[in-house]
Structure formats: structure tokens, C-alpha cells
Structure 1
Amino acid sequence: LADLGLTAWEGEVAREPLARLQAKLSFLRRVGLGYLTVDRQTRSLSGGEAQRIALATQLGSQLVGTLYVLDEPSIGLHARDVSRLAELCRELAEAGNTVVVVEHDRSFIEAADYLVELGPGSGERGGEVIFAGPREDFLRDLSSLTARYLAGRETIPLPLGRRDGSGYWLSLVGARAHNLKRVTVRIPLHTLTCVTGVSGSGKSTLVHDTLHRGVARAFKTEFDQPGAYDALTGLEHLAGVRLIDQEPIGRTPRSNPVTYIKAFDEIRKLFAGLPRAKLLGLGPGHFSFNVPGGRCETCQGDGFEKLEMYFVEDVYVTCRECDGRRYRSDVRAVTYQGKDVSQVLQLTVDEAVSFFVAVPGLVRRLQVLQDVGLGYLRLGQPATTLSGGEAQRLKIAAELGIRLGRDHLYILDEPTTGLHLDDVRRLLGVLQRLVDAGNTVLVVEHHLDVIKCADWIIDLGPEGGEAGGELVAEGPPEAVAQVAASYTGKYLRDVLVPRGVNGDPGRPPSGRSGPGPERPSRPRRARA
């Protein structure tokens, strides 16, 4: 717009429209969306991008006396962009508006004037107001788990050392899909590797569209066309690849956490082995609500009936035959520790671990749900009610629940979405377990507490869109933190404890030289 070359008369005619257009574009850039093209279709935007566009529109409207409610606006944002967004929310408040933000991000919480914390736990253990007051009082409140993290009384510690890895690498050469500029990256196997960079820098294109599709085609598990690249080497050192994304685990209410992790098989076998079940001739299949046999056939095991309406939405009512319990009365007559199978499905995971303490195999499967912070879910909770983050963690739990293999590549996209700092700490423990079992975990992530715990970082940028798509830095966190061109490195410096061997910040702690003999002693910088 600045280089339109208008005549004096054209400039006068277009002065007002151009000024408004410049202002709107400025707001979009300030909320971290400068990388979007003008012809981008809105249906292709992520939820976070759409929310920030709405915020930019409100900034341009210059309203006062308005209540703005934002639900986790920091999702998908780099630490640099989160700081910018927090400043914009501050501007809205100073203009005479009220801004209410539901948020887990440390920067947003520290920028707030007034804080309300709910808890103390999740699900049935939550729902109470733990604190409501000014930020200064909040940081002194010992009953608040969030405050303890912000004040440093609780922390996500740095690892004692960075893994050496197996000595082998998975290398992607010359990736050039979308905005990638012939990027070559190497992933040390048997490590936790983070792909970082500002929004729009090419992370998803590199990891999802190119690397994952390329590896999946090689193992013949998926056949989508990968983004253009020159070579993909190191596949001979892998046994397979798994993408753990935030897509729903099921499209119908019949799918639930306990069936997804295969724990319901154990429960059905347990009930079928009870004396009363044997007396009635009931087998494991009779305790399934998905197949005919023991389920209520009036509602076909749903527990409710759908009444189809012509001019309004369909109405769902409790099944009059089973009273919402899903099973026939004779099946419900079989009880374990005083509960029938329909009542067991109403237990939370935490309650079920105590309830089935005498069944070690079942408890082991349920405990992995606790490990990923899903202890508050009910065993029979419909999959359609789970958030994307809950679905992703449920998939991680399913991987941990089976006998862990070796040499698999696990790919996760922002698994910390919607997680409290304490849940992030738990999740990190789970990811480390996958690596310790002899696997490689590749995470696209913005959360600094995850990035600082990685063994290896691949940082893309330097900006988003056409100004991105380059390899800015790669190496252990201590090395990336020394790269002046890396925004990730800039923010990492604040969370890393100074360490190194003989004053060399580019080396991993404990004197290790990296995950293999090929590791460069300094992080590579992208070509200009």
C-alpha cells in the first residue's frame, strides 16, 4: 500500500480508505497474523487464528465499555506473539473495556490485574473458587497450585542431562513445500526433539505434510502425497511411525476412554467370570453395550432414545426400558464389589483404580490415564464430549497401555494445548517414558517448559509466511539459546539454568557431545 504510486489527486481521494485499511492490516500484524495471505480462505484458518482475527477487528472498532471474553487465545502462539497479544489485551482494558481471559499461559497470567482460580483438581474434584483477587495477593497464596508455579515454589525441572541418542539420524533433505526454502533437518533417534518457531514459520508443513507423510508412505501405513523434498534417509533404523494428533477418537457416543485403551475387555471378562454370570450363562459379550446379547435392545445400548422432530432439533430422552442403564435387568443383576457393569462405567478413572485394586492388569491400563492427567474422566464418558487435547492424551495413554515397542517415531502437534503447568509436568514424564523405551518423540511445540526439556531443537523462521521457512538453528537447548537470530533462543535464555562444559554453551550438560558422532558442535544457521 505504501508503494501504490498515486497521484496527488488519487491520494486525496483514497486517503480515508487507505488509512482505514492500513490500520486494519496493522492490527492483524500486531496479533501475529502478518504471515497470512490476503486471499486466504477463512475455512482454512485454525481456531486460534480465527480468534485473533476477531480480536484485531475489535481493536479497530475502538469500542469502550465492552466485555471481551477470550478462551485460551495463546493456543498455537510462539512466546513472542503471546507477549504481543497480552499487550493488546492490556490496550483494550486501558481503553475502558473489561477483558476476561481463560488461560494457562504464564505470560498472560502474570500480565493480569485480577485472577480467579478454579480447582482444586479436575472433574469431580474441581468446581470450587480457590482464589479471587489481585495478582500480588495471588502470588502469595499457598493454596493455589498455579500461584506456587508462578512464584517458583513448584517447578518443571530441567533434565539432568541431554540424551546421546542411538547414534543414528533421520534426515530430511531439501524440503520445499509451501513456504519451506529447501530445508534440510536431522533428527537424532532415541531422543525427545522439539520443532519450534513463530506461527506460520513452516513447522506443520515440515513435520506433518512432509516428514510424516514421507515416513508413513515408506512403511505403507498411509499414502497421502508428501510435500516436495529431495531425500529421506535413516528409515532403516525405524520400525514404524505414529501420528498422535487431536482428531476425535470416535464419531459416536459409543466410543469412550475405557474402550479406546482396551480396558473394557478386562472389565467384561471380570464380570463374565463371576459366579452369578456363570449361573446365568453370561459371557464377556453380554457385558458389551455395542453388540446384541446383554444390552437393552430398546435403546440398543445407548441409554437414551432419539425422538425425531420435523421442525425443531431432535430430542433425546432416557430409555424407558433400562432407565438409561444400557443393559438388560438380568445383566445388571451381576455385581462386582456391589456395582453392576453400568455403574462401573460411571466411575472416574481415579475411582476405578481404587475400585479394581485386586485386578492388577486392569489397574495398569487405567493408571496410564492417570499418568497423562485424565484421572477425572468417567470410564464411559462419550468420546464426542472430549476436547482435542483430551483426545490426544488418550491416544498417548493407549500407546503406553500396550507393550511398548522400540524404534518407533512418535509425532505430536502441541500436546500441551489446554494444559495446566502441573499437567505439562506429567505429560513430559510420559513423553520421556516413550523415549526411554527406545523410541523417538518429535513434538511441534511452543511451550517453553517442554522445549527446555528437549534433547534436540529444530528452530524454523525467522518469521512467518514468506519471511519464514528457513532453518534458523538446531542443536540442544543450550546451543539454540546462543543464536541471536532465533526468537526461540531469546526466550529460552530466560528459562535455562546456565550450564555447559568448559564454558561452552553449545554443548549438552554432563559433558555429553550430542546424540551421535555426526552432531555439529555448534547449531546450524539457516542460509540467508
Structure 2
Amino acid sequence: MINYEENIEVRGARVHNLKNIDVTIPREKLVVITGLSGSGKSSLAFDTIYAEGQRRYIETFSAYARQFLGGLERPDVDKIDGLSPVIAIEQKTTSKSPRSTVGTITEIYDFLRLLFARAADAYSYNTGEKMVSYSDDQIKELIKTSFSDKKINVLAPVIKSRKGHYRELFEQIAKQGFVKVRVDGEIQDIRKGMKVDRYKTHDIEIVIDRLKITQTPELDKRLTESINTAMYSGDNVLMILEEGTAEPRYFSRDLMCPATGISYPVPEPNTFSFNSPKGMCPHCNGLGKVYRINEDKIFPNRKNSIKAGGIAPLGEYKNSWAFKQLETIASRYQFELTDAIKDIPDEALNVILYGGKESFEVDSKTLGVKRTYKIDYEGIAHFIKSQFDESNSTSLRRWAKDYMDKKECPDCQGSRLRQESLYFKIGQRNIAELSQMDISELAIFFDGLFPKLDTNQQKIAEEILKEIKVRLRFLLDVGLDYLSLSRSSKSLSGGEAQRIRLATQIGSQLVGVLYILDEPSIGLHQRDNRRLIKSLQSLRDIGNSVIVVEHDRDMIENADHVIDIGPRAGRHGGEIISQGTPSDLKNHNTLTADYITGKREIPVPKRRRPGNGNAIVLTGCSGNNLKNISAAFPLGKMIGVTGVSGSGKSTLINETLYPIMNAHYFNGVKKPMPYKKITGLEFVDKVIDINQSPIGRTPRSNPATYTGVFSEIRSLFTKTPEAAIRGYKPGRFSFNVKGGRCETCQGGGLRVIEMNFLPDVYVACETCNGKRFNRETLEIRYKGKSIADVLEMTINEAVEFFENIPKIYRKLKTIQDVGLGYISLGQQSTTLSGGEAQRIKLATELSKRDTGNTFYILDEPTTGLHFEDIRVLMEVLNKLVDKGNTVLVIEHNMDVIKMVDYILDIGYEGGREGGKIVARGTPEEVARDKKSYTAKFLMQELNKHREMAKKGSEQRAETIVHR
């Protein structure tokens, strides 16, 4: 009998390539599902187990509610028993909104806002003094004691340092029954008529009452009424002016500076939110960045004249209104449009950029009389800014952005918050300063904060501090100590985003949940892997089941149960080929077991390539956490850029080196991070960046369309005799446009049957039977195959089929070479695993003609790859380098690092403690470095390889002796 309390039982799973498999997964254990990329791991974990868990959860809702939520399709599985509530922590990236930060997605910033709203001390932004606030009774007692037996004026401030004539205000004050006002320090009778200079700044207060402070019951009542009236008119602030003195004293129900009278509203959590009007900086709207005109982009070469196109947005001279105005400005400031821009007077350039209005007279040489000219010019800079701010046209805004730079907001210095919010402090730090600290630094700050608070603050803050410290601890446990709360979520890698979600789940302390994770070790240095494994084990130990789709050797060896899917990928995978403890796995004859035990290995090269003697040298890099470093990239080699997570690898390569090279070779517009100089670009012909962005988000995208091979195939079909007779063009063979596609399913091959509160059902289109094309199109055949038959072919079959068509063959062969021969040409991109998608991108670039001087940049190409997939990938990359190209990989995987010719190791730590070059040289040279974290693991890998080689040679020697 099956015990559902101990196991999750999956019976007859057939999703994607799964071969009707049965599998038993132990509950409350750390279970790793491994296997080749495309073997069916994600199909089992996410598309079967997680999908069924989600579907069952939605089925608990009423039929009425389900019709609004939309149902989930039942996965193709006979049954799943023993299933707990399921939470998936996938590789999908977090929000791309610029308003989303590490602090907001972990909710730590929400607790910080609450802490500051309830326990922070407020300080004046004018004097730095601590702010005070009073109740009405306290104000009354202070007035009675401070001004005893003195004559005072009770004033309500209504205007503070603002220009205007204020006629309507004075009329309104008079209607309310007040007869006196104090204007710029002088008390005046409003009945005698009021007139002030509209162009000067003024301070205006209403005189609410004039009285002598005596200790009588009548005065007590009158003072109470005066305070209430003054607070109402003065927006919770009043002033007491002793007769015969010039300086008033301020009192406020709100927080107030006793010296200058400025007041802050009572703080609330939204006061510290950059997503709320109450807290956001009004200049940048809480984004921390603003777009500013870059004059050097408007005048790219100041040696050019205006007529020769020296003003980039206007181009070369033409008979237009703008150039007529420039001629008028030239007459006024006595220069010619043929003069070099550097020789034009600064005053004139200022008018050209920022506009002006002026009339002037000039002697007419032809008529001999004075003529009046008028300048009424908006200014190029103002026009560009107005187009960027106000235009509804995307192309116009993009045009305007070309002449602007994204700069830190000058008002809030990038903190995103309004001035008042930054003057609330805890432990002498404001909320923006805490948000900019590394997580490790912030944890130390909060560990020592409680004793520094006063008794009241301790009572208020105790519970909030507990929540903050627990969440910070979980972020540290998953290796994210180098991040800061202010870090934008769109700058996070997939691995970082997933580990943040993992930390959030650990913090929720749920029990009895099934967690499914997709390669959480991505982007994590070997040093931090142990911490990640401990975090997953802690999730298991409190009573949860944890399933991890993973290739990492350490994760597999530390699992309680390992399920190996294979034996190969795609149609040749989808079977359970091994399951049991890690020890059991080593006894099975599978590819995974062979790599774990060392029967197979990715060999270390016998020699390192010397390169071609040239190098690209990048000097003075200081973006993000880089410490003004210089780096040389030797050409004709495979270069590995290594270092702990957050050390600065991506900043140096993706944010500095690639934008410089892309701008040089292809006029790319992305601005690189700060650097001083780069040399050696002349030794390279082009740069190709293969990053981790997905290849397509819709089912209509597939490997054939993404690689461009489908266009060639469609052109080939148009050249068949039958297509030529019928006059078919390439569009006839596209399932995305009308003409050749099936119009019943609009080229989708499936029809959606809406089931209201049940999930939508997808059925093969009855008109085309899932072929996507109409009958006439399918009648055109090439070598006996229709266009639909070609899309059904695997890459291996297609390589053979198109071997005599060089253009098609070359592209298909590169897909086959990166180990994707098993996928079909028309497979929906949404069904591809992460590793498959990235290798298709790689194949697309590799299919282009390389010059032998191409510089390839790959960011963690081992994402989602099994040991065997990495071996195949490295063979392809090595062929590229052998042709003379340069390949640079940003990597943590030791199987790749040990194979490169040159390593650039960045560290020592992540975040602020990183950004330095720790070690450089061949893997053997770097492995001897005592300070590098990478060196320690690299030395272990190289030693293991030497031992394996020694053992292999001894075994061969024994065999010879035996013979």
C-alpha cells in the first residue's frame, strides 16, 4: 500500500517528451532532478507536478470565481497522489519596473518605512536642530509661562517667502473678520488697503489676536480659542510675537524647527516611499535619475560650422524656419553660419541652445537704412526636452533621448525621496543611507542599533527590528550579502532574483509545502554554494519537501534523493534512468553517474594557446563597484572572467567593455560605465554578445524563425516548379501572414475552446489537422516534403535533408553542433528549456561568417547545461578560438574555467569589497594565488584531473604488463 504521508506518487506522466513515466518522490526530503538539457527535468518538475498543484488550488475556488481567474490546463498525467501545496521559485526575472528594488521585493524596505514613521527622530533641514511638536494644551502652558504679564500678538502664517500681489488673499482675510496682518515683519491695518510688490518675496501672517498674558480664567478660554483659530488658518503652525520685539516664536502641532518655524507633517510609512507622492522627490518623481541635455551630443564636433551640419539635431543647412532664425541670431551676435562652432560667442550659443526673445536693429548694406529684426527662438535644447517630456510619439522620444544623458537627480542625489523624508534619522542614519548599504553592512548596523535607542523607541521598534533582522539573515544565507536594498530589481541576474525569492520563502516559515526550484546555483560562485545548500536543507528541516532541478555536482552529492532523467534529450529522453540516494546514483550506468564518479570528464587542455600577441586594454574602469581598474584581454585566446557573485564581472564586461566595442563597430547607443581609455580595438573586426535574454515569448516563435533558417526554407519552396507556376511568394509559406496559412486557426495549428470557469481546451484545428497551412500551400512539395513536414523534422533529420543547400545547411549544422539535434525545427520557443534557448542564440551567432578576428562575449553559457552538454559546448567554442577568434566567458563553472587559456579573476568579495583584479594568467598561474577564492576551487579541480590522468596511465600500464 502506498503511504502518501511519505511519498508523492506520479503515475503516467506524458507532458512534452516524458514517456508515460511513473516516479515516487519522498516527502520532506531534498530531491534533485538531473539529466541532460532537454531530457525532461522541467517537464516533470514544473509542467507536471507544479502545474497540477496550481490547478488543484484554483479548483478549490467556486465556479463563479474560476471564470474570472481563468483555469489551468490539466497536465497530461494519469494521477498524482500525496501532493502538498506547491510553490515554484523559477528562473524568470523579476519586475523590470524602475520603481522595483531589492528592498521592495523582499519587503525589508516596507518594514524600514514603518520603523522610520514610528521611531525616527526628525531634524531641521535648515539648522540641523531636532524638531519638536506640541499639543494645544502644551502650547497654551508654554505661552502662559514664557510670556507672563507681557503683551503678545497671536499670528497665523499664511505665506512664506513667495512672490505675488496677494490681492485676493487680503480680501479673503478681511471677509473672515480679521483687521490686521503682518507683512514682511510690519503689522498693517487691512482696512486701509493693502498693496505689495508682486515681484518681491513676502512673508504674510494674519494677526489672530492681541492680548496681555494674565493668570485669569477669562484669558485661559480666550487663549484656547485663539490657538485653535491660528492653527486652523496657519495649517497647524502659529507664531507668538511679543510687542516691542522683532523675532517671533513658533509653535506647531506638527514637527517643527523651533528656530526657523519650518514644519514637517506627522510622518507615516508613505512619507518614506519613493512610490508615493507623499515621499517621492518631486523633481525625478521617485526614480532617482533624470534625463539632461548633453551639449556635446548636440555639437558633436565643434570644428564644424552650422552650415556643414555642426548642430546634429538640425543636420546640414536647408531653407527652413529654424535656419532663418539662426541667421537672425548670427546677425545679432556678429558671426557667420560658416564659422566653426568653437568660434561662435558663448552668449550666442546659449541663445541657440536655450532660446531667447529680443528685437534689435541692423544697418542694411543694400538699402543704407536700419532694419529691425526679431529673435523669438525656443532653443534646440528646450525643443528636445519638450519632445522627450510631452510627445506621444515613441520615435520622437527616442530621437530626443539620443541627445540626452541619464544623470543622478540633483535634488535628491539619487535617493529618490523628498528633502523632508531624508531628515528623519535612526542611529544618525536616514532611510536612504541605510538602503545604500550592502546587506552585510546593514545587518551589522541593525545588530548594534537596539541599545542606542531610548526607552520609548525600543518599545516601538522591538518587533519591527526582529522582522528586519530575520529577513536580512536569510539574504545573507543565500549568498546575497553584496546587494543593497536600493539596487534596482531589473539589474538582477536570474540567479540573484531566484535566490531573493528563496530568501523570502524561507522567511515566511511555512511548513508542509512542496517547493520546486529551477537551478538556484546559477550565477553563484563555488564559495557560496555551501550556504545555498544549507538554506535548502533548512527549508526541508522545518517540514517542507524541496525539489531542485539542478546540474551542480555539490547539490547532487548533498541531496537526499536524486532522480536522473534521460538517457538522452528530446525524443530520446523522458525516461527515469536512475533514482535513489547519491550513493545509489554512482552505481548506475548513466552519463550523470559517469561524470560524478570520474569515469567521464571534461579534459584539461594539454597546452594553453599563446594567442596572437595583441590585446584590448581597458584602463581606469570605475563603474558601480570597480576600483579604477585596468584590464588586458589577450586576443586569439579563450578568456575566463571569474570572481564571487557581485564582484564586478558584469560591470566590467557587459556594462563597460561591450558597449564601447558595440559603439565602435556597430554605432551602438548604450553608454558604457565610466572608463579612461581603451586601446587595441583595431585588432578586432566585430563583437558578438550572447546573453541570457529569451529567444521568444509566444508559441509562434520557434528555432526555425529565430535563427532565420525558415526564411531560407520558404524561399527554397518558392523556387519549386509548382510554386513558380502558381506564382507563390515566400509569404505564402509563412504561418504568420494571410495567404498560405490556415485561416481557421490563423496559422496556430490549434483552436482554443473557451470553457468559461473550466480551463480553456486546446484541440488540433479540424481544418488543417494541426498543420498550420491551407491545402493549396501543403500541395507544394520539396523532395516529397511539404512545408509542414519540414517544421516537424528534428534538426538531425533536417541537416541530412538540406545537406545540398549551403545557406540552410550551415545554420542547421551549427544548431546540431551545440548539441540540439534532437529538437524540431518548428518547436514552440515557450517549450524550450533555458539551456536550449541559450544554445540556439549561440548557434545563430555561430552560423554567421566569422572573420577570424571576431570577439565573442558569453555570459554564463553553462546555464541549464549538464556535464555532457558543457563538453559539447566547449568543443564548439574551442573550434572558434582555433580559427583565431577571441571568446570571453563570464563563468563560475569549474569545468569551463579549467579549460580557458587566460583568467581574469575579480574580487576579493562582492559589492563594495569587490571591484579589484585579484589574479590574472593561465589557470595554473591563478590556481597558485593565495588570495583568490576561485584559485582554491580551481586548484582542487586541476589536482583531481592530475590524479585521474595518473590513475588512467597506471591502469593502461597494468593492461600492457598483463598482456
Question: TM-score, with normalisation over the residues of structure 2?
Answer: 0.48
Q: What corresponds to 1:128 in structure 2? A: 575
Task: Provide closer, same or farther for how the CA distance between residues 363 and 17 of structure 1 changes in structure 2, counting only shifts above 3 A.
Answer: same
Cα offset, 1:327, TM superposition: 2.2
Aligned to 1:414: 860
**Residue 463 (structure 1) shift:** 1.1
> Are 1:238 and 2:681 an aligned pair?
no
2:585 maps to a residue whose letter is F
Q: Deviations over 1:394-420 (max 9, x none)?
A: 122122223322211111111110111
Question: CA 1:94–1:307 in 2, change beyond 3 Å: closer, same or farther?
Answer: closer
Distance (whole Å) between structure 1 residues aligned to residue 732 and residue 657 of structure 2: 44
Q: Which residue does the alignment assign to 2:883?
A: 437
Q: Distance in 1 between matches of 2:786 and 2:945?
A: 57
Q: Distance in 2 between matches of 1:247 and 1:9?
A: 52
| Unpaired segments ≥5 residues, structure 2 | 1-445, 947-963
Aligned residues of 1:459 and 1:474 also touching (Cα < 8 A): yes
| 489-498 or 466-475, larger mean C-alpha shift | 489-498
Change (3 A) 1:330 1:15: closer
Q: Partner amino acid for 2:703?
A: P
**CA shift at 1:148, angstroms?**
0.7
2:604·2:945 contact (CA, 8 Å) conserved in 1? no
- 1:195 and 1:21 map into 2 onto residues whose CA distance is 35
Matched residue, 2:924? 478
Residue in structure 2 matching 1:91, options 538, 546, 552: 538
Aligned ranges 1:13-162 → 2 under 5 Å: 13=459, 17-42=464-489, 44-142=491-589, 144-162=590-608
Cα distance in 2, alignment partners of residues 293 and 170 from structure 1: 51
Q: CA deviation at 1:170?
A: 0.6
Equivalent positions of 1:217-366 (< 5 A) are 217-250=663-696, 252-274=698-720, 276-277=722-723, 280-282=726-728, 284-297=730-743, 299-304=745-750, 319=765, 321-336=767-782, 338-356=784-802, 362-366=808-812
Which amino acid in structure 2 is aligned with residue 221 of structure 1?
Answer: N
Report the Cα offset of residue 302 of structure 1.
3.8
The residue matched to 1:100 in structure 2 has which SS? strand
Query: What residue number does 1:397 align with?
Result: 843
Residue type at the aligned position of 2:570 = G
Q: Residues 268 and 41 (structure 1 numbering): CA distance in 2 closer, same or farther, change over 3 Å?
A: closer
More strand by share: 2
CA contact (8 A) 1:246 1:389 kept: no
CA, structure 1 residues 146+499, in 2 after alignment: closer, same or farther (shift >3 Å)?
Answer: closer
Hey, what's the Cα distance between the residues in 1 that align with 2:553 and 2:704?
33
Matching residue within 176, 186, 193 for 2:622: 176
Change in CA separation of 1:311 and 1:240 when aligned onto 2, cut-off 3 Å: farther
How far apart are residue 264 of structure 1 and its match? 2.8
Sequence identity percentage: 51
Partner of 1:462: 908
Helix, strand or coil: the match of 2:942? coil
Q: Which amino acid aligns with 2:560?
A: D
Q: Is the 8 A contact 1:192 1:455 kept in 2?
A: yes
Which amino acid in 1 is paired with 2:530? S
Match of 1:509 in 2: none
**Counterpart residue identity of residue 709, structure 2:** A
Does the C-alpha gap of structure 1 residues 58 and 388 become closer, same or farther in structure 2, counting only changes over 3 Å?
closer
Deviates more, 1:365-374 or 1:102-111: 365-374
Shift, 1:55, TM fit: 2.7
- Distance in 2, matches of 1:458 and 1:11, equals 49
Q: 1:313 to 1:227 in 2, by over 3 A?
A: farther
1:140 is matched by which residue type in structure 2?
Answer: N
Q: Is the 8 A contact 2:603 2:945 kept in 1?
A: no
Q: Residues of 2 paired with 1:216 and 1:27: CA distance?
A: 39
CA distance in 1, matches of 2:583, 2:485: 43
Partner SS, residue 69 of structure 1: strand
- The 3-state SS of whatever aligns with 1:68 is strand
Q: Could you tell me which residue of structure 2 aligns to residue 513 of structure 1? A: none
The one of the two structures with greater contact order (alpha-carbon pairs below 8 A, sep at least 6) is 1
Q: 3-state DSSP class of the match of 2:793?
A: coil
Worse overlay, 287-296 or 303-312: 303-312
Q: Distance in 2 between matches of 1:66 and 1:314?
A: 28
Following TM superposition, by how much is the alpha carbon of 1:329 offset from its aligned partner in structure 2, in angstroms? 1.2
Q: Secondary structure at the match of 1:166?
A: coil
Could you say if the C-alpha distance between residues 353 and 220 of structure 1 is closer, same or farther in structure 2, counting changes exceeding 3 Å?
closer
**Separation in 1, partners of 2:527, 2:735:** 49
Distance across 2 between alignment mates of 1:467 and 1:55: 24
Residue 211 of structure 1 aligns with an amino acid whose one-letter code is L
**Contact 2:905–2:932 (CA under 8 A) maintained in structure 1:** yes
1:112 deviates by: 1.1
How much is the aligned-residue C-alpha RMSD, in angstroms?
Answer: 3.0
Letter in 2 for 1:113: D
Query: Take 2:748 and 2:482, find their aligned partners in 1: how far apart are those partners?
Result: 46
Query: For residues 60 and 350 of structure 1, what CA distance do their matches in structure 2 show?
Result: 47
Aligned residues of 2:525 and 2:644 also touching (Cα < 8 A): yes
Task: Give me the whole-angstrom Cα distance separating, in 2, the residues matched to 1:300 and 1:161.
Answer: 56
- Looking at structure 2, the residues matched to 37 and 83 of structure 1 have their Cα atoms a distance apart, in angstroms, of 22
**Is the 8 Å Cα contact of residues 213 and 226 (structure 1) preserved in structure 2?**
yes
> Higher Cα Rg: structure 1 or 2?
2
SS of the residue aligned with 2:714? helix
| CA drift at 1:363 | 3.8
Secondary structure class of the residue paired with 1:495: helix
Shift of 1:276: 4.4
1:96 CA drift (Å): 3.9
SS of the residue 2:940 aligns to: coil
Change in 2 beyond 3 A, CA 1:231/1:357: closer
CA deviation string 1:357-396 (max 9, x = no partner) = 5656644432211211222222012334444443331122
The Cα offsets for residues 138-170 of structure 1, whole Å up to 9 and x where unpaired, read as 10101x110111011111001121111110111
Aligned partners of 2:447 and 2:469 also within 8 Å: no
Greater Cα offset, 176-185 or 300-309: 300-309
Alignment partners' CA distance in 1, 2:501 and 2:529: 16
Pair 1:187 & 2:187 matched: no
Q: Does the residue aligned with 2:821 lie in a helix, a strand or coil?
A: coil
Q: Distance between the aligned counterparts of 1:413 and 1:340, measured in 2?
A: 39
The offset of 1:19, in angstroms, is 4.6
Shift of the alpha carbon at 1:347?
1.6
- Residue 86 of structure 1 deviates from its aligned partner by 1.2
Secondary structure at the residue paired with 1:48?
A: helix
Query: Residue 429 of structure 1: SS of its match in structure 2?
Result: helix
Q: Is the 8 A contact 1:248 1:384 kept in 2?
A: no
CA contact (8 A) 1:179 1:202 kept: yes
Counterpart AA for 1:454: V
Whole-angstrom distance in 2 between the partners of 1:234 and 1:358: 40
Equivalent residue in structure 1 for 2:870, among 416, 424, 447: 424
Are the equivalent residues in 2 in contact too, given 1:365–1:401 (CA < 8 A)? yes
TM-fit CA distance, 1:231: 0.6
